[in-house]
Amino acid sequence: MERASSVPAIAGRRRLGLRRAARFGYRTKRRAFICGGLLLPLLYFVGVRLYPILYSFDVSFREWELLSPEKPFVGLANYESLLGDPDFLRSVANTLYYVAAGVPAQLATGLAVALLLRRIGRLRGLYRAAYFIPYITSIVAVSWVFRWILMKNGVLNGLLLKLGLDAQPLLYSTSQAIHLVLATMVWQSVGFQMLVFLAGLENIPKEYEEAASIDGAGAWRRFFGVTLPLLRPVVLFSAVIAGIGYLQSFAQVLNMTSGGPLNSTSSIVLRVYDMAFKSFDMGRASAATVILFVLILALTLIQWKALNRKIEH
Amino acid sequence: MNRKRSYAVIPAVLLVLSASLAACGGKNGAESSSSSSEPSAASATSPASGGSSAPASASPSAAASGKKVSIEYWQYEFPAKVELIDELIKQFEEKHPNIDVKQTNFPYDQYNQKVATLVPAGKGPDVINLYYGWLPKYVSSGYLQPLPEEAFPAADIEKEYFPFVQTAKLGGKYYALPTGVRTLALFYNKDLFAKAGLTQPPATWQELVDDAKKLTEKDANGQFVVEGFAWEPGSQLHHWFRDGLLYQAGGKDTSDDRRKLLWKDSPAGLEAFKYLVDFAKEHKVGINGVFNDDANAFKTGHAAINVDGSYRLGSLKDAPGLNYAIAPLPAYKDKSTQASFWANAIPSTVKGDKLEAAAEFLKFLTSPEVQEQWVEKTGELPAKQEVALQEKYANDEKLGPFISQLPYAKSHFFVDETQERTLFVEAVDQVLLKNVPVEKAFDELTEKTQKLYDEYWAKQDKK
């Protein structure tokens, strides 16, 4: 009954719409279509992304035990307890190290590999694939392979001993472990970075470099004077993406060291995971994600300011 | 100019926003993985609950009592246990034609997460299998109800079960009962023992140290070829300390009301801690992080002795060349070992007919007949004394040593197992990596663990 009555209504509306569209012309119609099309992902974004974030802000102000029926509002208590927790502060410091050392390392190695690969004529595809394969390999698998290589009587220590050096504690050392975990992360992302820079390099017209070379600029001069400035948008993009990636350091840490020894490798996300899913303390875990959110926001704005100066040729 | 710049910020903020969303990956990612499978679990549960809430669906064949009751059983995904429960449900339904039992499983590493997400959402089971270490959190959250007193009188439980099952007694009431339990014992490699000229497994603390030294083999570079004693604090050794060494040295774990750690109330605590650390620090007969871990070192013949649980027997079956045997843990002033178990509990939301049916099912699961099937199919030890101490089990070459320790086994009351374990590993690392004196590391360990207890009890007392 209802349906029957609604059919002519829809038809009527549609007819009306058509007439109006005809009146407003093709341009308006197209704009309406585009807006309508864009609305769907926006709704999805708000519902699946934005709402959970705002929700986790709320959770962070509560004493929210996953199982407990009451979730009382406690103001900033979760933040206070986090900022007074040396283990959490250690994980923040570690995470900042992952970013500060990881981003430049990834960009530099990625760029170096891309520049070298551009010079190679033969077997280029093979080399590209070889560098790219780690990126598409499961992080857990990579972490475990490195863990085995780096265990106390693993391959690396075997090599060191063969060279007549002392065996090292590696992943079981509070001073060495964090660098090894970071190296694993960088190793795995070099392939992606290389690809981004290769694409960026393709976009630089050959004429610029040729002109510079005619003007008598050497290879270094050409690189720092021409290539690198023209790559700035790519560098910015990479720095933002890599920075966010290292701020989220998690899977390698969990699988290689679980944050140890003595918290020397733990990252913010690992702490969040432990608080939320081992201790079920969702309130504190959410507070930690909000802190991470602020860090990411700050980092991105800094990078934006520093690298997004107008490019002048 | 200003305006232009403010526009430029918009995409930046959007980017950051979406990035930070991704940044929550650790947490939200894990969360979404649970919520993504939630619908399937929910849809799996709904037919059962739907069937039970509609008495009209009662089959005419149901007994005089009338309606048919459906209950749901939850346990983690462990093939041997899942198959056995399926089989047991059949047996149970034959005896109780008006009760319908449905089993739901989750993977082990997500189990707690699933339970914690689905249960508060009201999609709960009627009988749930929980690790005993989680019970305090579940009970303090008001999620479990005490087992019905008439079906499970406390006096009977204490008479029939091994004493460590009392860990499931909270606030004077039993909340869960196990079918099968596990204990720690000494695994030793008979070939390596023969090679070192040893004929008997070590029975005392001193013998364990002496034997481990004799069994240790290192190459020219000082690297382990064979560990005399596999040493991995984060695996089972922290259990060995709390429920084994501590009592063996004449100490006690907690006060009777479980509010206070007694590790420092006698010299036993420090003595036990030092004894454990010294295997790596002084005697250097084993170390963490070699051959991957203790279990792997033992399995591949690179460790002569390992302290491990009865659950390891299954995985050692695929090392056919390994000639090993089991012995009770070495004793000192006293004997003790760690016992742990998964126990069946009834959520607080279960009422009326369902509660009766759940109690009936729980009674069945803990019955001697089922415990016998359980030990044969899963390798877990019977929780009831009369079943476990039968000759056929007590004299079993592999199970015997585990079972013989059951009467004096202990189960530590965990307020937060992960954190308590982490604290222990950190204390050991302090000594090993930072050369912190053993006394100081042990003081800090006790202090920090006590703090976890205080926080737990503060929350309890507030309720």
Q: Answer yes or no: do A97 and A182 share one domain.
A: yes
Binary contact (A292, B20; C-beta < 8 A): yes
Could you tell me if A26 and A154 lie in one domain? Answer: no
Q: Where does chain A have alpha helices with state H? A: 2-44, 51-60, 77-83, 86-119, 124-136, 139-149, 155-162, 177-202, 206-214, 219-222, 228-230, 232-247, 251-256, 268-277, 282-307
A302 within a domain of the structure (yes/no)? yes
What span, in angstroms and rounded, lies between the C-alpha atoms of B24 and B26? 5
Tell whether A280 lies on the interface with B, counting CB pairs under 8 A: yes
The whole-number pLDDT of residue B143 equals 82
Same domain, B111 and B193: no
Q: Are residues B255 and B348 in the same domain?
A: no
20-79 in chain B: CB under 8 A from chain A:
20-28, 30-31
Residue B317 has what pLDDT? Answer: 85
Angstrom CA distances, A221 to A118, A224, A226, A228, B126, stand at 18, 5, 8, 10, 74
Confidence at B378, pLDDT banded by 50, 70, 90: confident
pLDDT band at B39 (very low <50, low <70, confident <90, very high): very low
Residue-level pLDDT at B66 = 64
All residues at 6 or more sequence positions from B243 whose CB lies less than 8 Å from its CB, including other chains: B184, B253, B336, B337, B338, B339, B409, B410, B411, B412
- How far from chain centre, in Å, is Cα A290? 17
Residue B363 lies in a domain: yes
Structure tokens belonging to residue A209: 């470099």
pLDDT for res A83 = 95
Q: Residue A296 to residues A1, A144, A269, B19: CA-CA distances in angstroms?
A: 55, 28, 12, 8
What is the rounded distance in angstroms from the CA atom of residue B343 to the CA atom of residue B173? 15
Q: HSE on the CB side for B173, CA within 13 Å?
A: 14
State whether residue B418 sits within 8 Å of chain A by CB. yes
Chain A nearest-CA residue for B428: A262
CB-based contact B120 A67, cutoff 8 Å: yes
Lowest mean pLDDT among B119-133, B158-172, B256-270: B119-133
Exposure string over A274-313, b if 16+ CB within 10 A, otherwise e: bbbbbbbbbbbbbbbbbbbbebbbebbeebbeeeeeeeee
Q: Return the pLDDT at B90.
A: 95
Pairing of strands B169-170, B173-174: antiparallel
**Total domains, chain B:** 2
Report the chain A residue with the minimal C-alpha distance to residue B29: A273
Judgement on whether residues A54 and A154 belong to the same structural domain of the protein:
no
Mean pLDDT of B188-212: 96
Contacts of B125 (CB under 8 A, 6+ apart): B71, B72, B73, B74, B104, B119, B347
- B10: in domain: no
Same-domain status, A135 and A54:
no
In this complex, the residue of A167, A260, A277 whose CB is nearest that of residue B425 is A260
Assess A56–B contact: CB distance below 8 Å, yes or no. Answer: yes
Claim to verify: residue B167 and residue B234 sit in the same structural domain? no
Q: Which of B14, B16, B110, B128 to mutate to test the interface with A (most CBs of A within 10 A)?
A: B16
Same domain, A132 and A39: no
**Are residues B331 and B350 part of one domain?**
no
**CB burial class (10 A; 0-12, 13-18, 19+) of residue A157?**
buried
DSSP for A263-303 reads TSS--HHHHHHHHHHTS-BHHHHHHHHHHHHHHHHHHHHHH
Domain boundary among B363, B393, B408: B408
Identify whether residues B110 and B46 lie together within a single domain. yes
Q: Does residue A65 lie in a domain region? A: no
pLDDT for the residue A22: 56
Other Cβ atoms less than 10 A from the Cβ of A265: the count is: 29
The domain that holds B207 is classified in CATH as 3.40.190.10
Residue A67 lies in a domain: no
* A194 SS3 class: helix
Question: Which candidate in B13, B16, B21, B24 is best for mutational testing of the A interface (most A CBs within 10 A)?
Answer: B24
Using the beta-carbon criterion (under 8 Å), do B26 and A273 form an inter-chain contact? Answer: yes
Per the structure block, which two tokens stand in for A136? 């598409």
At B243 the pLDDT is: 96
Question: Higher model confidence: residue B311 or residue B123?
Answer: B311
Q: Which residues in chain B have Cβ-Cβ distances shorter than 8 Å to A95?
A: none
Report chain B's C-alpha Rg in angstroms. 25
- For residue A260, list chain B residues with Cβ-Cβ distance below 8 A: 425-426, 429
B141 min Cα distance to partner chain A (Å) = 4
> Which chain A residue has its CA at the smallest distance from B24's CA?
A289
Q: Tell me if B11 is assigned to some domain.
A: no
Give yes or no for residue B347 having a pLDDT over 80. yes
Q: Is residue A231 part of a domain?
A: yes
Same domain (yes/no): A49, A130: no
Instruction: Say whether B20 and A56 touch across the interface (CB within 8 A).
Output: no
Q: Quick one: A116 and A10 in the same domain? A: no
Strand B324-327 relative to strand B69-76: parallel, antiparallel, unpaired? unpaired
Question: What span, in angstroms and rounded, lies between the C-alpha atoms of A293 and B301?
Answer: 48
Residue B52 pLDDT > 90: no
B254 three-state secondary structure? strand
Look up the domain containing A94 and give its range: 77-307
CA distance B43 to chain A (A): 21
* Phi, psi (rounded to 5 degrees) for B361: -65, -40
Q: How far apart are CA B331 and CA B166, in angstroms?
A: 23
Same domain, B249 and B358: no
Q: Is B63 within the bounds of a domain?
A: yes
Decide if A55 touches B, using CB distance below 8 A: no
Task: For residue A223, give the DSSP letter.
Answer: I
Look at residues A117, A112, A263 and name the one whose alpha carbon lies nearest to residue A190: A112
Coil, helix or strand at residue A60: helix
pLDDT of residue B91: 95
pLDDT value at position A4? 44
Average pLDDT over residues B442-448: 97
Please give the Cα distance from B109 to A37 (Å, whole number).
40
Pairing of β B173-174 and β B381-382: unpaired
E strand map for B210-304: 217-218, 224-226
Task: Quote the domain boundaries for residue B54.
Answer: 41-182+340-408
- pLDDT confidence band for B92 (50 / 70 / 90): very high
Q: Which of A195, A183, A223, A53 shows the shortest CA–CA distance to A131?
A: A195
Which residues are registered as beta bridge partners of B144? Answer: B347
Cα–Cα dist A68/B136, whole Å: 12
Question: What is the reported pLDDT for A23?
Answer: 64
Q: Which of B219, B433, B444 to mutate to test the interface with A (most CBs of A within 10 A)?
A: B433
Show which of A60, A87, A110 is a domain's final residue: A60
Residues in chain A where the model's pLDDT stays below 50:
1-13, 21, 313
At position A305, the amino acid (one-letter code) is K
d(CA B364, CA B56): 27
The answer to whether residue A159 is domain-embedded is yes
pLDDT of B55 above 80: no
Facing B224 at nearest CB: one of A153, A269, A280: A153
Based on C-alpha coordinates, what's the Rg of chain A?
27
Domain identity same for B103 and B229: no
Q: Identify whether residues A105 and A185 lie together within a single domain.
A: yes
Are residues B160 and B72 part of one domain?
yes
Return the residue in B6, B14, B27 with the most chain A beta carbons within 10 A, the one to mutate for interface testing: B27
pLDDT given at position A14 = 52
Q: What does B434-451 look like in DSSP terms, one character per residue?
A: H---HHHHHHHHHHHHHH
Alpha-carbon distance A80 to B407, whole Å?
A: 46
In a domain, B99, yes or no: yes
Question: Rounded to whole angstroms, what are the CA distances from A288 to A83, A285, B122, B398?
Answer: 10, 5, 28, 47
Q: How many domains does chain A have?
A: 2
Chain A, residues 128-157, CB within 8 A of chain B, namely 147-148, 151-153, 157
Q: What is the CATH number of the domain that holds A233?
A: 1.10.3720.10
Is B206 part of a structural domain of the chain? yes
Chain B residues inside the 8 Å CB shell of A248: 22-23, 25-26
Residues A122 and A206 in one domain: yes
Residue A312 maps to a domain: no
pLDDT above 50 for B30? no
C-beta atoms of B27 and A272 within 8 A:
yes
Mutation for testing the A interface, residue in B1, B13, B21 having most A CBs under 10 Å: B21
**What is the predicted pLDDT for the residue at B43?**
35
**What pLDDT shows up at residue B305?**
97
Residues B257 and B379 in one domain: no
pLDDT score at B2:
44
Residues A205 and A133 in one domain: yes
Q: Quick check: B41 pLDDT over 70?
A: no
Same domain, B400 and B276: no
Distance CA B429, CA A172 (A): 9
- State yes or no: pLDDT of B408 exceeds 60: yes
For residue B13, list chain A residues with Cβ-Cβ distance below 8 A. Answer: 297
Mean pLDDT for the stretch of residues B40-60:
36
The secondary structure of A159-187, three-state, reads HHHHCCCCCCCHHHCCCCHHHHHHHHHHH
Q: Are residues B378 and B398 in the same domain?
A: yes
Q: What is the pLDDT of residue B100?
A: 94
Nearest alpha-carbon partner for B178 in B377, B349, B381: B381
Quote the percentage of chain B above a pLDDT of 90: 65
Judgement on whether residues B145 and B196 belong to the same structural domain of the protein: no
A95 and A241 both lie in a single domain: yes
A52 and A87: one domain? no
**Does the CB of A174 have a partner CB in chain B at under 8 Å?**
yes
What's the pLDDT score for residue A15? 52
How many CB pairs below 8 A link A and B? 140
B143 contacts on A by Cβ (under 8 Å) = 67
Interval B101-136: pLDDT, tens: 999 998 877 777 777 777 777 678 999 999 998 888
Mean pLDDT of chain B: 85
Whether the pLDDT of residue B388 is over 50: the answer is yes
Count of residues in chain B:
463
